[in-house]
Amino acid sequence: MAIMITQQQLQRAVDNPIDKKRLDAFVASFNQWAESFGITSKQRVVHYLAQVFRETGELKYCEEIASGQQYEGRKDLGNTHNGDGRRYKGRGYLQLTGRANYTLFNAFDLCTEDVVKSPEKVAEFPLNQIASMWFWQNNKLNELADQDDGGLIGSDIVRRITRKVNGGTNGLAQRLFYYRRFKKEFGL
């Protein structure tokens, strides 16, 4: 059974006020879809939220601020056509990136739009959450989160999940900050 989250829990865990409309949409979609994607334990919720809050700047951005030019020609992301880097830049709560990921997500049953033709749809409700949870599950991040024993290993798990989400360790300090804050909020 999924853990239900509240607006109050999320707001208490961060230092800055979060836009109420964005917060409401995130909480509603999280609570609607978390169980379907196996985000059903406190460890899984805490790790998911830590990544999301870093990737979105505390829910401010569902589309990468950068142009996506840095992804141009990245075959590891499936960006094989001219313009793919910009077209398939990061979107959604976990910043789904690359033609390959958009194509895989497009084939998923709960993807209700053609995101290969209209990639901007991944930044919109409810696909911003569904795409992120799909990526999380598809990359076996629940299993990584399950390895967190609540002790020192938690920081290593954050680092390992960050590499899957980000391709490196960009923003690791912030991810660890959110991890600690959400861990406290959810009683871990």
Per-residue pLDDT of 73-117, as tens digits, reads: 999 999 999 999 999 999 999 999 999 999 999 999 999 999 999
C-alpha to C-alpha distance for 89 and 63, rounded to whole angstroms? 8
Closest CA to 135 of 109, 160, 102: 102
Q: Is the pTM of the predicted complex or chain greater than 0.85? A: yes
* CA atoms within 13 A of residue 111's CA, in its CB half-sphere: 24
Tell me how far CA of residue 123 lies from CA of 6, 12, 24, 26, in angstroms: 22, 25, 16, 12
d(C-alpha 145, C-alpha 160), whole Å: 9
Q: What is the pLDDT of residues 122-159, one digit of tens each?
A: 999 999 999 999 999 999 999 999 999 877 677 899 99
Mean pLDDT of the chain: 95
Whose CA is closest to 66, among 83, 44, 91, 41?
91
Cα gap 67→10, rounded to integer Å: 29
Taking 70 as the threshold, does the pLDDT of residue 54 lie above it?
yes
pLDDT of residue 153: 73
Residues 3-26: what's their mean pLDDT? 94
- On the 0-12 / 13-18 / 19+ scale of CB atoms within 10 A, 7 is middle
Cβ atoms of residues 133 and 37 within 8 Å: yes
133, 129, 149, 177: CA torsion to nearest 10 = 140
